[in-house]
Amino acid sequence: MCGIIARVGEGNAVDRVITGLDNLEYRGYDSAGIALQNGTGVSVSKCSGEVEELKQNIRGDRLAGNIGIGHTRWSTHGPPTDENAHPHTNGDGTIAVVHNGIIENHAELRERLRSQGVEFESDTDTEVIPHLIDHYYATCDDPKVAFTRAISELEGSYAVVVMFEDYDAVYGARQGSPLVLGVGDDQYFLASDVPAFLEYTDRVVYFEDGDVVVARPHGVTVTTADGEPVNRPIESVDWDPEETGKGAYDHYMLKEIESQPSALSNSIRGRINDSNDGVDVDVFDPSTLADVREVQFIACGTSYHAAMYASTVLNRTGIRARAFRASEYQLSSDPVTTDTLVVAVTQSGETADTLGAMERAADEGAKLLTVTNVVGSSAARAADDTLFIHAGPEIGVAATKTFSSQAVTLSLLAQHLAEHIEDGTPVPNLPAVLDAVQTLPSDIEQIINTTRAAALANHYLNSEAYFFIGRELGHPVAQEAALKFKEITYEHAEGFASGELKHGPLALVTPRTPVFAIFTGLHDEKTLKNAKEAQTRGADIVAVAPAGHPAVSETDAHLPIPDTHPMWAGLLANVQLQLLSYHAADALGRSIDKPRNLAKSVTVE
Ligand code: M6R
């Protein structure tokens, strides 16, 4: 978490750094800060709270500098106070640092620096960095040497960017946390992620761990820490800068929910053959898949729900598949062998738990595939092969369009695996499944144009709790709907496999706990029976089902979804439930795009 941005070039850097912070705020919003350098010193402005507060604070300050660095924070060490906000500086304020990651040996370094007379102003792990650089700079008078010596002492993960008062440059390095370079016509950016500078350039350089970069107004050099030159290619990203703005929407989340038709079209494009009887998913040489005996998905949060979805689809092809929570997978003793295909599912490609789980899989010799939205991300680079979901940038902390795109991409991957793994048989009724997936964008369009989720959200506002139930492919959707609901409304919500309700959760059911039942077209009579068990105890049941479904007349309210193949009905139900969460959170006045305590990219374990 945390977002960092640096800009060097001609003209004033302030607006560009602030734009970068706005675009990176999804990574954390506990505090924000900026430092500028114009050849006559370093000036720092920072405060707790969101970027908007920083903007208010610096309004009218006439800040200027052609070199700027900025930071938006998700707190790990120390509460979200002004003092703990980045940038952090050395004692006389001539070196300023922004950092994303965790310095594990910060306590030891702090003690050592203290014994040398350094006084600290914050509780952060980051503050040791400018003091360490200062220490080395005093002995060598060379900023790059001082920077590389300092970072060679850091243990843990970092993307760090530094400016010095009297050098026309910024110095950056990465180790386990993301850092990318944006190459503009007359300027360069270093940032945690591409959306930070997408308005200014779509030309990007992705760095590897251990790279050290020096960006000056008219050029960039990349080396190893030992000074050996490193060649990193410039790549073009195909994200549209408009996708990183809110447009006419009040919230990114609603914009992203409503952009699911185009996101899904992009996920599907080119991946289904013309006769609708096979897929064209370009991962691994088919011969490397033949001897796969098990597929293990590893993921967190929403991506885990997409992984559950995929493992259910894959099991239908006769291939043994399981979804694991990445944080648990690292510690588990479930066998992983060279015959295991491990699929890491991660929107951002930077989730520390998932990266840790990938390490375990790699250590055990598994074949490793990453399914992600972010080209150049750590997970993309750590795998043997990568499959992109092509959903476009997602800024709202609540994952919406990326869930749909993950579930569809992974389901197409399942068919690809079924075609090449010895034990596999095709997804049942494949032509019908592939036919239906291609109408999902227009089905979602229909939901967006006709939804009554806002009215229903208002009707059930201030309930005691909200339950979501579904079976088989409806189960991950129930869990995803509950995660979305609790994440942005701060209300108690739970998702259950329908059949589990009677094994305990039913004790929580009252007339003030609406139950949203997801009907996918498979096992629906059982789901209805379970829903009625809750209805008998006083709960209102909301059927998320096609119009005319038998459950509609037996339940208390209805969120309609278009008729589709049972493989995809859960994804349509999920869109209605995303809208339900959104409107409930809106009615409650919640911070929808930046829910409290959370961040989009969770780069700590
Ligand atoms: O970037 P990832 O997909 O790896 O993120 C995993 C989770 O942190 C993420 O899905 C989280 O649960 C969502 N923000 C929930 O909406």
Do 498 and 431 lie in one domain? The reply is: no
Atom of ligand 1 nearest to the CA of 379: 4
| Coil, helix or strand at residue 216 | strand
- The C-alpha atoms of residue 343 and residue 406 are separated, in whole angstroms, by 12
Strand partners, 295: 321, 341
Is the pLDDT assigned to residue 242 strictly greater than 80?
no
Per-residue pLDDT at 489: 98
Do 227 and 349 lie in one domain? The reply is: no
Both tokens of 456, joined, read 């229903």
Residue 287 C-alpha from the chain's centroid: 32
Atom of ligand 1 nearest to the CA of 402: 3
Cα of 401 to ligand 1 centre, how many Å? 12
Q: Which residue owns the Cα nearest ligand 1 atom 8?
A: 301
Strand partners, 296: 322, 342
Instruction: Report yes or no: 130 and 96 within 8 Å, Cβ to Cβ.
Output: yes
Atom of ligand 1 nearest to the CA of 602: 8
Is the pLDDT assigned to residue 176 strictly greater than 90?
no
Do 275 and 415 lie in one domain? The reply is: yes
Per-residue pLDDT at 238: 82
- The C-alpha atoms of residue 414 and residue 316 are separated, in whole angstroms, by 9
Do 233 and 289 lie in one domain? The reply is: no
Question: Last residue of some domain: 424, 442, 460?
Answer: 442
Do 340 and 471 lie in one domain? The reply is: no
Mutate to test the pocket of ligand 1, among 251, 347, 372, 477 (most ligand atoms within 8 A of CB): 347
Cα of 348 to ligand 1 centre, how many Å? 8
- The C-alpha atoms of residue 434 and residue 457 are separated, in whole angstroms, by 33
Cα of 127 to ligand 1 centre, how many Å? 29
| Residue from 391, 394, 389 nearest 412 by CA | 389
Instruction: Give the tens place of pLDDT for each residue, 367-381.
Output: 999 999 988 888 998
Do 438 and 523 lie in one domain? The reply is: no
Residue 66 C-alpha from the chain's centroid: 31
Atom of ligand 1 nearest to the CA of 598: 14
Q: Known catalytic residue: 144?
A: no
pLDDT band at residue 541 under the 50/70/90 scheme: very high
Instruction: Report yes or no: 45 and 148 within 8 Å, Cβ to Cβ.
Output: no
- The C-alpha atoms of residue 32 and residue 21 are separated, in whole angstroms, by 8
> Which CATH number is 581's domain given?
3.40.50.10490
What average pLDDT score do residues 532-545 get?
97
Per-residue pLDDT at 519: 98
- The C-alpha atoms of residue 358 and residue 370 are separated, in whole angstroms, by 9
Q: Which residue owns the Cα nearest ligand 1 atom 14?
A: 398
Question: Last residue of some domain: 204, 237, 270?
Answer: 237
Tell me the pairing of strands 3-9 and 67-73: antiparallel
Cα of 349 to ligand 1 centre, how many Å? 10
H or E segment at 371?
strand 367-372
Is the pLDDT assigned to residue 331 strictly greater than 90?
no
Do 421 and 519 lie in one domain? The reply is: no
- Which sign, positive or negative, has the C-alpha torsion 129, 134, 139, 141? positive
Give the CA distances from residue 527 to residues 472, 478, 541, 566, in Å, rounded to whole numbers and listed in that order: 10, 12, 11, 14
Could you tell me which residues come within 8 angstroms of residue 69 by beta carbon, excluding any fewer than 6 positions away?
Answer: 4, 5, 6, 7, 17, 34, 35, 87, 96, 98, 161, 162, 163, 170
Mutate to test the pocket of ligand 1, among 26, 192, 302, 488 (most ligand atoms within 8 A of CB): 302
Which one of 2, 300, 401, 594 is the catalytic residue?
2
Cα of 557 to ligand 1 centre, how many Å? 30
3-state secondary structure 408-470: HHHHHHHHHHHHHCCCCCCCCCHHHHHHHHCCHHHHHHHHHHHCCHHHHHHHCCCCCCEEEEE
Cα of 44 to ligand 1 centre, how many Å? 32
- The C-alpha atoms of residue 66 and residue 70 are separated, in whole angstroms, by 13
Per-residue pLDDT at 90: 97
Which one of 46, 367, 401, 600 is the catalytic residue?
600
- Domain range holding 601? 451-605
Per-residue pLDDT at 81: 93
Which residues line ligand 1 at a C-beta cut-off of 6 Å? 300-303, 346-348, 351, 354, 397-399, 483, 487, 600, 602
Q: Which residue owns the Cα nearest ligand 1 atom 10?
A: 302
Per-residue pLDDT at 303: 98
pLDDT band at residue 385 under the 50/70/90 scheme: very high
Q: Known catalytic residue: 2?
A: yes
Reported pTM: 0.86
Q: Which residue owns the Cα nearest ligand 1 atom 4?
A: 346
Per-residue pLDDT at 417: 96
Cα of 302 to ligand 1 centre, how many Å? 5
Burial of 383 (0-12, 13-18, 19+ CB in 10 A): buried
Instruction: Give the tens place of pLDDT for each residue, 455-473.
Output: 999 999 999 999 999 999 9
Do 88 and 202 lie in one domain? The reply is: yes
Cα of 43 to ligand 1 centre, how many Å? 35
Q: What are the start-end ranges of the H helices in 184-294?
A: 252-258, 260-268, 286-289
pLDDT band at residue 397 under the 50/70/90 scheme: very high
Instruction: Report yes or no: 101 and 157 within 8 Å, Cβ to Cβ.
Output: yes
Instruction: Give the tens place of pLDDT for each residue, 280-308.
Output: 998 999 889 999 999 999 999 999 999 99
Atom of ligand 1 nearest to the CA of 601: 1
3-state helix, strand, coil in the chain (%, to 5): 40, 20, 40
Mutate to test the pocket of ligand 1, among 343, 345, 351 (most ligand atoms within 8 A of CB): 351
> Which CATH number is 178's domain given?
3.60.20.10
Mutate to test the pocket of ligand 1, among 192, 252, 298, 300 (most ligand atoms within 8 A of CB): 300
H or E segment at 96?
strand 95-103
**What phi and psi, each to the nearest 5 degrees, are found at residue 8?**
-125, 145
Mutate to test the pocket of ligand 1, among 253, 343, 348 (most ligand atoms within 8 A of CB): 348
Do 460 and 376 lie in one domain? The reply is: no
Ranking 21-25, 269-273, 375-379, 441-445 by mean pLDDT, the lowest is 375-379
Atom of ligand 1 nearest to the CA of 484: 16
Do 205 and 333 lie in one domain? The reply is: no
Atom of ligand 1 nearest to the CA of 302: 10
Do 251 and 330 lie in one domain? The reply is: yes
Question: Last residue of some domain: 442, 468, 493?
Answer: 442
Instruction: Give the tens place of pLDDT for each residue, 109-166.
Output: 999 999 999 999 999 999 999 999 999 999 999 999 999 999 999 998 899 999 999 8
Q: Which residue owns the Cα nearest ligand 1 atom 16?
A: 398
| Residue from 429, 392, 434 nearest 280 by CA | 434
pLDDT band at residue 39 under the 50/70/90 scheme: confident
Per-residue pLDDT at 602: 85
What share of the chain has pLDDT > 70, as a percent?
100
Ranking 56-70, 92-106, 547-561, 565-579 by mean pLDDT, the lowest is 56-70
Per-residue pLDDT at 6: 98
Do 411 and 456 lie in one domain? The reply is: no
Per-residue pLDDT at 246: 84
Per-residue pLDDT at 333: 87
**For the chain, how many structural domains are there in total?**
3
For 278, what's the count of Cα atoms within 13 Å in the CB-facing half-sphere? 8
pLDDT band at residue 332 under the 50/70/90 scheme: confident
Per-residue pLDDT at 376: 83
CB atoms within 10 A of CB 225: 15
Cα of 594 to ligand 1 centre, how many Å? 13
CB atoms within 10 A of CB 11: 13
* pLDDT, greater one: 135 or 333: 135
| Residue from 370, 408, 401, 398 nearest 267 by CA | 408
Q: Is the peptide bond before 79 cis (omega within 30 degrees of 0)?
A: no
Cα of 216 to ligand 1 centre, how many Å? 35
